[in-house]
Amino acid sequence: MKEISRSEPHEPHPARLTPLRRALAWLKAGHLDLAMDLLQKLADAAPGDPQIGYALAATRLRNGQASEALKCFNSLLKTDPGHTGALQGRGLCLHSLGDRPAALDTFRQAVSADPLSWRAWQSIADITPYEDDRIHALEGAADALRVICQTEGSGRNAFIAAAEALLNARKPGRAARLLESCAPEDGNDPALIRLFARSLYHQGRFAD
């Protein structure tokens, strides 16, 4: 399931969508109670469905129900141990519940299963107590995002996340090269311009 964000314009009204798509539309729009009610009904009607189970777990996590979400993610991982989304969700639940070592182990399982799981790399960087580990994780996130940026159809958010990860990993030269070589067609994007300026600044290229 892709990253959940605010609803975009021109989408069909949720009432006209199939039940699962309607629940995901409610979730994307931030209507957590509506999404959870519908997803719970779907889960009761189709126990074991992985898409419904993952959506329900993500909704519970978003709604602050970390313990219940953890049960859902654990159930998904019993049948699909390499499900990187479920591993990421499990790690977030564990961290929310105060178990940082277990959360770190789970995020590391996610990047081991899929090195392009940049959110898991970023989560490691966010919570590790060790600076070397943090830098390594930031580099992992940046490398994953750089690969994603090179795929067809990658959007501006991937470029922004990749450049920020490189800057946080103290790699301003790589950030600048990424923005120069992989930037979307809109070269006037303010966020990308600011990131490019930051990358030049951290290289000492003030006159550029």
Global pTM value: 0.74
pLDDT band at 24, cuts 50/70/90? confident
> In whole angstroms, what is the distance from residue 62 CA to residue 128 CA?
22
Q: Residue 107 falls within a domain, yes or no?
A: yes
Q: Token pair for residue 90? A: 């499990």
> What residue numbers bound the domain in which 197 lies?
115-208
Identify whether residues 39 and 121 lie together within a single domain.
Answer: no
| CB-based contact 147:116 (threshold 8 Å) | yes
Last residue within a domain, chosen from 114, 132, 154: 114
Number of domains in the chain: 2
Q: Which of 69, 87, 114 is the last residue of a domain?
A: 114
Residue at 2 is within a domain: no
Q: Indicate if 24 and 63 belong to the same structural domain.
A: yes
8: pLDDT strictly greater than 50: no
What pLDDT, in 10s, does the model give residues 147-197? Answer: 887 775 666 777 778 788 778 777 777 777 777 765 555 557 777 778 778
Q: Is the dihedral of CA 164, 168, 169, 171 positive or negative?
A: positive
What mean pLDDT comes out for the span 18-42?
88
Q: Are residues 33 and 102 in the same domain?
A: yes
Kindly report, residue by residue over 85-130, the tens digit of the pLDDT.
Answer: 999 999 999 999 999 999 999 999 999 999 999 999 999 999 999 9
Count Cβ atoms within 10 A of the Cβ of residue 2 and give its class: 0-12 exposed, 13-18 middle, 19 or more buried: exposed
Please say which residue of 81, 114, 147 terminates a domain.
114
Instruction: Give me the pLDDT at residue 123, please.
Output: 95
Check whether residue 91 and residue 149 sit in a common domain: no
| Alpha-carbon gap, residue 163 to 118, rounded angstroms | 13
Task: Residue 40: count other Cβ atoms within 10 Å of its Cβ.
Answer: 15
